[in-house]
Structure 1
Amino acid sequence: MEKWYVIQTRVREEEKLVSLIEKMIPPECGLYRKCFVPKNENVWKLKGMNLTEIEVLFSGYVFVITECPEKLFVELKSVPKLSKLLGETTDDEGREFVPLSDKEQEFMENILNPADYVVHRSLIHRNKQGRIDQAKGPLEHYVDNIVKVDNSHRRILIDIEMFGRMRRIKFCFMNEEDCRIEGVPLPEWQRESDGL
């Protein structure tokens, strides 16, 4: 079964490490399916327009998806600039490469677009009291984890456990007005009378 593993490196050198791994251990060798840097779509407002840019989601971290971690672990040891294999532990037989927990992997699979490994903007819906009660997209399963909403910058912060500790993660969103301006079709929302 494929599991997700994390490699720690220097901040702003994530893409360099991915390129180095792909050069020294090409995906064709069959030791991993994908090596990537998860990214986040960030929104900036300029003169009333939403501008987006793509930024690194977890600075200093590179992810790798593999079914054969032991073999990959051995090969990764030869890669220069490799800082640390996250979750690396020592057991009676030597070193071990530990995957994300099932819950952490599920979170990453839920929020990342599998085509580009980017957390794209979510569409949000507010109830009659103005609270966000529904979302479509990466935030869909995590509405209850929202701790802060910045409406003017279209950002939401959620708290979630990742890498063994609580982390605050930024999601960007579109509201119904943004959808109309940008020509994005509005989704069918569940009505409040349906239990929300």
Structure 2
Amino acid sequence: MFYVIWVKSQKEHEFKAKFEKKIDASLYSRLLLITRIEKQKHRETYIEKERLMFPGYLFIETDCPDEVHEILNSQPEYIKILGNDGQFLPLTKREEDFINRITGHTERVDMSLGIIDGGVVKVLSGPLSGFEQYIVKVDRHKRKAYLEMELFGEAKKIVAGLEIVAKS
């Protein structure tokens, strides 16, 4: 099951490296710090930049959440495993499927390609394919899509790379 570890923003990479050194790899199968690819204009061209998709969040796939939590309690950078009333709640099946689909079982969300047809966004390829209903805004110049959906028990705004190749 996937669980979410909430850490201090801008310390995610540092915390992940410490986590991997201190915690026995047999306690978890995957530790994800999910990033997204976005294109940023630099002079006359666009360059790809990698940014955190969920700043302050690490995703851990484990069957031993209590053991992991006990070890994490000794870490000063650690804030908490997201849960309810002291119990650690795994991501819902829907949330886990979303994470797996948009990352392709990796740690990275690539750019998507789409069109706008009659004011409706249609994703032609990429990780946002099938998630058009969650897109609330598209910034064609910055090549970004803004999604709004429920994750971790609350409404979240998510930014992902989306290049619109045609508009009619």
TM-score by length of 2: 0.88
Higher-RCO chain (CA-CA 8 Å, sequence separation at least 6): 2
Between Structure 1 and Structure 2, the one with more strand by share is 2
Deviation string, structure 1 residues 39-58 (Cα, Å, up to 9, x no partner): 11122112342211111111
1:47-66 equivalent positions in 2, closer than 5 A: 47-66=43-62
Q: Quick one: distance in 1 between partners of 2:18 and 2:74?
A: 11
Give the AA of the match of 1:85. Answer: I
**Offset at residue 106 of structure 1 (A):** 1.4
1:114-153 equivalent positions in 2, closer than 5 A: 114-115=105-106, 117-127=107-117, 129=118, 131-153=120-142
Distance 1:150 1:171, change over 3 A: same
Q: Would the aligned equivalents of 1:113 and 1:120 in 2 still touch at CA under 8 Å?
A: no
- Percent same amino acid at aligned positions? 28
Q: Which runs of 5+ in 1 are unaligned?
A: 91-95, 178-196
Q: Quick one: distance in 1 between partners of 2:78 and 2:84?
A: 13
Number of aligned residue pairs: 166
Give the AA of the match of 1:169. Answer: I
**Offset at residue 32 of structure 1 (A):** 0.1
Q: Would the aligned equivalents of 1:24 and 1:79 in 2 still touch at CA under 8 Å?
A: no
SS of 2:83's partner is coil
**Offset at residue 33 of structure 1 (A):** 0.8
Instruction: Name the counterpart of 1:97.
Output: 88
How big is the alpha-carbon RMSD for the aligned residues of Structure 1 and Structure 2? 1.8
Report which of the two structures shows the higher radius of gyration computed on alpha carbons.
1
Q: Would the aligned equivalents of 1:148 and 1:156 in 2 still touch at CA under 8 Å?
A: yes
Q: Quick one: distance in 2 between partners of 1:133 and 1:173?
A: 11
The one of 81, 87, 99 equivalent to 1:108 is 99
SS of 1:140's partner is coil
